[in-house]
Amino acid sequence: MKNLRQIVLTFALLAVTTASAEGQQKLTREAYIQKYKPLAVEQMDIYGIPASIKLAQALFESDNGNSRLAREANNHFGIKCKSNWTGQTISHTDDAPDECFRKYPSVEESYRDHSEFLDKSARYQDLFKLDPTDYKGWAHGLQKAGYATNPQYAQQLIKIIEDYQLFLLDEGQDVRIAENAAPVEEPVAEPIPSASPADMVDVDNYSVSIQGRNGGHTVYRNNGSLFIVVRDGDKLESVASEFRVSPKKLIKYNDLDIHSNVKTGDMIYIRPKAKRSSNGKMIHVARDGETLHSISQMYGIRLKSLCNINRRSRDSQVTEGQQIRLM
């Protein structure tokens, strides 16, 4: 009788476990995008990694959040332990049996660590020199740098991005996908035409190229980003409308606050700035009246990054002749 009761109990437990597993509905790709796109955009604003790339990697690596690593370790990017990892771990068979993978307390921490992993690894640094909207360059660059062993990795990421128009997130737009809907095929924002010939313009003794013209504004390329020069009558709202970028994004891209006013001659970036100079110039000698913010705008570098490079706060005063590091 005792053995019979044990057998019955065992089958009961198996039944409960099976029912529980079946009751856990798997995330669809559409649901994953809707749930985690704000997190991807937040990380893009901080680190400069295109939100489309981050979401595509997470979708691919985590099977839309349904993989064992995602469910049991909050690891949405398949990042292995490496020698410098001091956090929790989980064993998982991938390229080899029982490999060591990182385990996180939350999905948010997984997204942040993925950003840090790319940001601090020497082999990925060339990616941060790309145009922030160049998702194809990022996809091929990740594969070339050895992020994954799958020979079709770049094409897989690009397909996900284009099937669900995730590139709109890189441009400051939203992606709205109905649950269980087929991938949408809508016309995308018209690209800014290239200027011919590609002129060079000296802006405050720093050369930038003309990318093209959109309406009445000339669009300049600087340090991998794009900006326009404010004209009489321009407001953030009108610039945002012209380039299909939300005013909130323009405020972030230009390190402004909600009470900031723009004036004629200001540089306004319509794409995220870079984290450091990629144009070969390492030092800027400050001139009278300059601020860390004006220098960050001149070189297309995020104010937070410029402050970190120089170990200063954003409100620190700049004196004439002071050397400001750009990378």
How does DSSP classify residue 222? E
* Nearest CA among 190, 210, 191 for reference residue 200: 210
| Sequence ranges of the chain with CATH classification 3.10.350.10 | 200-325
Bridge partners for 180 per DSSP? none
Per residue in 107-166, pLDDT tens? 999 999 999 999 988 999 989 888 878 999 999 999 999 998 888 999 999 999 999 999
CATH 3.10.350.10 fits 200-325, yes or no: yes
* pTM exceeds 0.75: no
**Residue 285 burial (C-beta neighbours within 10 Å; 0-12, 13-18, 19+):** exposed
Strands 217-222, 225-229: pairing is antiparallel
Asked if 277 and 263 count as a contact pair (C-beta separation under 8 A), the reply is no
| Sequence ranges of the chain with CATH classification 1.10.530.10 | 29-79+106-170
* Topology adopted by domain 29-79+106-170: Lysozyme (1.10.530)
Per residue in 201-234, pLDDT tens? 444 444 455 555 555 788 888 888 888 888 888 8
What is the four-CA torsion angle of 140, 145, 151, 152, rounded to 10 degrees?
A: -30
Beta-strand runs (E) in the chain: 89-92, 99-102, 200-203, 206-214, 217-222, 225-229, 267-269, 283-285, 323-325
* Nearest CA among 110, 108, 112 for reference residue 90: 110
